[in-house]
Amino acid sequence: MCHITQRSSTSSFPKIYSIFWRFHHTSTSHWCSCSKTISDEKYQDPFQLGKKDLKNLYEDIKKELLVSAAELKEMCDYYFDGKGKAFRPMIVVLMARACNIHYNNSKEVQASQRSVAIIAEMIHTASLVHDDVIDDANSRRGKRTLNQIWGERKAVLAGDFILSAASVALARIGNTTIISVLTQVIEDLVRGEFLQLGSKENENERFAHYLEKTFKKTASLIANSCKAVSILGCPDPKVHEIAYQYGKNVGIAFQLIDDVLDFTSCADHLGKPTAADLKLGLATGPVLFACRQFPEMNAMIMRRFSKPGDVERARKYVLQSDGVQQTTYLAQRYCHAATREIRKLRPSPEREALVHLTEMVLMRDK
Amino acid sequence: MRGLVVLLISKAAGPSTADLSFQHDMVSGIYSSQRSLAEITELIHTAFLVHRGIVNIGELKSCDGPLKDMQFGNKMAVLSGDFLLANACTSLAQLQNTKVVELISSAIGDLVQGIYYENSKSSEENCLTDDIGISRWKEQVFLSHSALLAKSCQAAMELAKHSAEIQDMAFQYGKHMSMSHKLHSDLQPFVRESSSDTIAFSLNSAPAILHQEFRGREAWLKQIREAQGKGNIVDYKKLQEAIKAGKGVTSAIDLCRCHGNRALAALERFPPSEARDALANIVYAVTRFP
């Protein structure tokens, strides 16, 4: 369990929080002041509980990728090597089970719900492949990136192919509502990438911009795939909203921690280079918080850390500041929100696993 | 052209006979869903024109200009292509027809594979031509040039709930018309009368592939070697003459007309109309040679 120091948070938080809560949580009533994250109920290891549903996940994905050209096939299969965390499919199948139990105590995952898990992982991977080309990245998950091995031209095509296969699988579910929900993800991913290109002058706008980007690039996929399986499992729109809100909050927390790890983890452990965001000119949560303590960072943010030495200096400032703690604290609050949402469902081991999963999001170190 | 063909074939097929409930939606003989489909087809086609323009950073030479600019160009190309594709996906979802989503998604997959073949050809340094026969050539051209249009035409019929037979005829029209269109453009360097300057042609264009089939691979490679001067620069004029002297050009013209006839035969199943005539005229235009 990680302990977050909240010493200095009270002074700086209210203002900036009011901004993003307005942005992201228009309907949220109030926050409980306790930061208790462990309840007395017995926790299930989410990865054990969802394991049998995800058995052969990668084999099934590879079956969706029907290509005749051997090299293109190899490229498409490259990241489905079973070494990924399969974090998204895990959330999706657990959510499916939790919703099914909530609705009619059904203990089965429907084939269509499992397809959503597969499609979510495929859309995610397709976007990684394109992101790596856009960012000119060299390594991911401890492997060389597709663009490093095969060049940008083919890498982009492989990404396009994975996306098209995902959309064929999506169409085969045969439900137009599900198609609309998951198509929203594709649109959000692209718009998120465009948001990442711009930077905002105003500090508050910058934070809202960062959270909006985080939602579109990371949380939308989790939120909408959770929503999709809830629609398939249960007709109650209230449940769909619970699933969506859970996915959205966990997704944002997940990305916030990702942004923290970019500063605190070492490259070997993470499987990709650290301070990668700074090198790309991106100011993530820890930087934005640090900037409140060290206003001299403003200029660096605006020039996207382009001057020699900017990246190192910014990194130093971040580590000196409480940017990392504050970002982690923020992630914690999103996780609380996720937990509160999911607890509205009828109790089940899967529901508790989803609660536990929010903690794993906070504690992960890679 | 693609969007236009989708609109024309929608109009040629006319209103749905199965379902009279959504006929108020029709403007000048075309349903609004078919109009969106035409836009989607264009969006997808354009997205891949953009993605085709991506360069391999590692292969750039210093004479290609600053690396940073090329990286930025790539970034923009990936993003804008994705943006167009995402818009296509959104409009596709709005059509509320899972069969159409499946058809068009599979067409995107076909297009990717077709472009992939194009790419892998140009990257092989030692080998100027592929050792493929005309049937393999047809498969690849179907993926890169015909699948999207064929499947869009079929999807347009599905949107109006036309029968499986009409859907198939629309598919056949789209397929064969675009095959003959591709053959027509491959033939241009060989049939143009004003041959003051050689129009560049691909050694993987239909006449060259057919020429290779007639002469045999060894003889063709020998001709290529003979046309290669200093620094491996190929004298295309010389190769062009070699191909013209053989049967490659005439059999490519035959093939073009054969696909054209199959496209026209598919049209026979549609009732006579101005739209049908227009579709037939497109075929006449791409099968006419000087």
Helix or strand holding residue A227 (H, E): helix A220-233
Share of chain A above pLDDT 70, in %: 86
Q: Is residue A26 part of a domain?
A: no
Written as tens digits, the pLDDT of chain B (290 aa) is 899 999 999 999 988 776 666 666 788 889 999 999 999 999 999 999 999 888 888 777 777 778 888 888 889 999 999 999 999 999 999 999 999 999 999 999 999 999 988 777 654 444 556 667 888 889 999 999 999 999 999 999 999 999 999 999 999 999 999 999 999 999 988 887 665 566 677 888 898 889 888 888 888 888 888 877 766 677 777 888 888 888 889 999 999 999 999 999 999 999 999 999 999 999 999 999 88
Are A327 and A256 spatial neighbours (Cβ–Cβ below 8 Å)?
Answer: yes
- Residue A197: per-residue pLDDT: 83
A130 to chain B, any CB pair closer than 8 A? The answer is yes
Per-residue model confidence as pLDDT tens digits over A22-73: 344 433 333 333 334 444 445 567 778 888 888 889 999 999 998 888 888 9
Q: Which of A136, A172, A184 sits opposite B71 (nearest CB)?
A: A136
The CATH number for B2-15+27-287, chosen from 1.10.630.10, 3.40.50.2300, 1.10.600.10, 1.10.10.10, is: 1.10.600.10
Q: Is residue A151 part of a domain?
A: yes
Please check the confidence at residue A21 and state whether its pLDDT lies above 90: no
Task: With beta carbons under 8 A apart, name residues in chain A contacting B117.
Answer: 69
For residue B61, give both structure tokens: 């030479």
Q: How many domains does chain A fold into?
A: 1
| CA proximity to A115, closest of A229, A222, A224, A219 | A229
Q: Is residue A12 part of a domain?
A: no
Please check the confidence at residue A8 and state whether its pLDDT lies above 60: no
The residue to which tokens 């235009």 are assigned:
B285
Chain mean position to CA A215:
8
Q: Is residue A4 part of a domain?
A: no
Are A213 and A195 spatial neighbours (Cβ–Cβ below 8 Å)?
Answer: yes
Tell me whether residue B122 is exposed, middle or buried, using C-beta atoms within 10 angstroms of its C-beta: 0 to 12, 13 to 18, 19 or more: exposed
Q: Is residue A6 part of a domain?
A: no
B200-236 residues labelled b (16+ CB within 10 A) or e (exposed): ebbbbbbbbbbbbbebeeeebbebbeebeeeeeeeee
How far, in Å, CA of B33 to CA of A344, rounded? Answer: 40
Q: Is residue A274 part of a domain?
A: yes
- Give strand pairing partners of B27: B30
Per-residue model confidence as pLDDT tens digits over A166-176: 999 999 999 99
Q: Is the dihedral of CA A302, A304, A309, A314 positive or negative?
A: positive
Q: Which of B94, B97, B116 sits opposite A154 (nearest CB)?
A: B116
- Residue B119: per-residue pLDDT: 74
Please check the confidence at residue A233 and state whether its pLDDT lies above 90: yes
How far, in Å, CA of A286 to CA of A317, rounded? Answer: 10
How far, in Å, CA of A14 to CA of A21, rounded? Answer: 10
Interchain contact, B58 vs A69, CB within 8 Å: no
Task: With beta carbons under 8 A apart, name residues in chain A contacting B143.
Answer: none
- Residue B121: per-residue pLDDT: 64
**Which CATH number is A61's domain given?**
1.10.600.10
How far, in Å, CA of A51 to CA of A113, rounded? Answer: 15
- Residue B224: per-residue pLDDT: 81
Q: Is residue A85 part of a domain?
A: yes
| Closest A-chain CA to B122 | A153
Long-range contacts of B215-223 (CB under 8 A, 24+ apart): B215/B246, B217/B131, B220/B129, B221/B129
Chain-wide mean pLDDT for chain A?
85
A68 to chain B, any CB pair closer than 8 A? The answer is yes
Higher pLDDT, B234 or A147: A147
Terminal Cα distance for chain B, rounded? 23
* 3-state SS string for chain B: CHHHHHHHHHHHHCCCCCCCCCHHHEECCEEHHHHHHHHHHHHHHHHHHHHHCCCCHHHCCHHHCCHHHHHHHHHHHHHHHHHHHHHHHHHHHHCCCHHHHHHHHHHHHHHHHHHHHHHHHHHCCCCCCCCCCHHHHHHHHHHHHHHHHHHHHHHHHHHCCCCHHHHHHHHHHHHHHHHHHHHHHHHHHHHCCCCCCCCCCCCCCHHHHHHHHHHCHHHHHHHHHHHECHHHCECHHHHHHHHHHCCHHHHHHHHHHHHHHHHHHHHCCCCCCHHHHHHHHHHHHHHCCC
Task: With beta carbons under 8 A apart, name residues in chain B contacting A282.
Answer: none
The CA dihedral of A317, A322, A325, A328, to the nearest 10 degrees, is -60
- Give strand pairing partners of B30: B27
Q: Is residue A73 part of a domain?
A: yes
Domain boundaries defined on chain B:
2-15+27-287
- Residue B21: per-residue pLDDT: 62
Please check the confidence at residue A129 and state whether its pLDDT lies above 90: yes
Residues 108-147 of B with CB under 8 A from A: 108-109, 112-113, 115-117, 119-120, 123
Interchain contact, B92 vs A67, CB within 8 Å: no
Give the structural domain span for A189.
40-363
For residue A328, give both structure tokens: 């982690």
Where does the pLDDT of residue A306 fall: very low under 50, low under 70, confident under 90, or very high at 90 and above?
confident
Rounded to two decimals, the ipTM of the complex is 0.90
